Amino acid sequence: MSTLSEHEREIILSSIRDIPDFPKPGILFKDITTLLNNPKAFKTLMDHLHTRYGNYELDYIAGIDARGFVFGATLADRLGLGFVPVRKKGKLPYTTVAQKYSLEYGYDEVEIHIDAFGHEGKREDGKRSRVLLIDDLIATGGTAQAAAELINRVGAECVECCFVMELGFLNGREKFSQNVYSVIEI
């Protein structure tokens, strides 16, 4: 299983900009737009993910709205797999399945197309489709955990949840029954 070298970690980490007091005072926001527009850092990240997941025998990559789309679609292309978007409720045009998750004040929902991973989430050989879920950040884990549940609810198998960054002090990974991999822990 591939892990980052210290040099690769530094290339990626140094390309992520800190924005103090965004979106509100006291929060240090990790801005990945600077990673996306840095060709060396983005290539380093995507090369690492390609190496890590090349032998996972995946059928699909699912990415969470919206930054997970960038990493997920790029990785799916590199691995020769289909990409499935996990979106906020009301954004997908076909029949969907939704999953609620709790926020600090209230609830939100994510959804996927009911046939996103084949009929009843199965491959042509009748086995469950193997799916990697990817997003840019895991904080408390609510959105990603709901997305992983959705993948399993439609009959596919979420084999791992991958995040570019993890805010480890928030313990978000504890919500998951799936394996969780973070490229960089903050």
8 counts as catalytic: no
Close Cβ partners of 71 (under 8 Å, ≥ 6 residues apart): 45, 46, 49, 63, 134, 135, 136, 164
Q: What is the 3-state secondary structure (H, E, C) of 71-133?
A: HHHHHHHHHCCEEEEEEECCCCCCCEEEEEEEECCEEEEEEEECCECEHHHECCCCCECEEEE
Percent of the chain at pLDDT above 90? 89
Close Cβ partners of 163 (under 8 Å, ≥ 6 residues apart): 134, 135, 136, 137, 138, 144, 180, 181, 182, 183
Strand 17-20 to 96-103 pairing: unpaired
The per-residue pLDDT of the chain, averaged, comes to 95
111 counts as catalytic: no
CA distance 45 to 142: 24
Altogether, the residues listed in the chain come to a count of 186
Domains of the chain: 56-185 (3.40.50.2020)
**Tens-place pLDDT, residues 9-47:** 999 999 999 999 999 899 899 999 999 999 999 999 999
Over residues 87-111, mean pLDDT? 92
Active-site residue identified among 6, 8, 9, 104: 104
**Tens-place pLDDT, residues 127-147:** 999 999 999 999 999 999 999
Active-site residue identified among 9, 67, 123, 153: 67
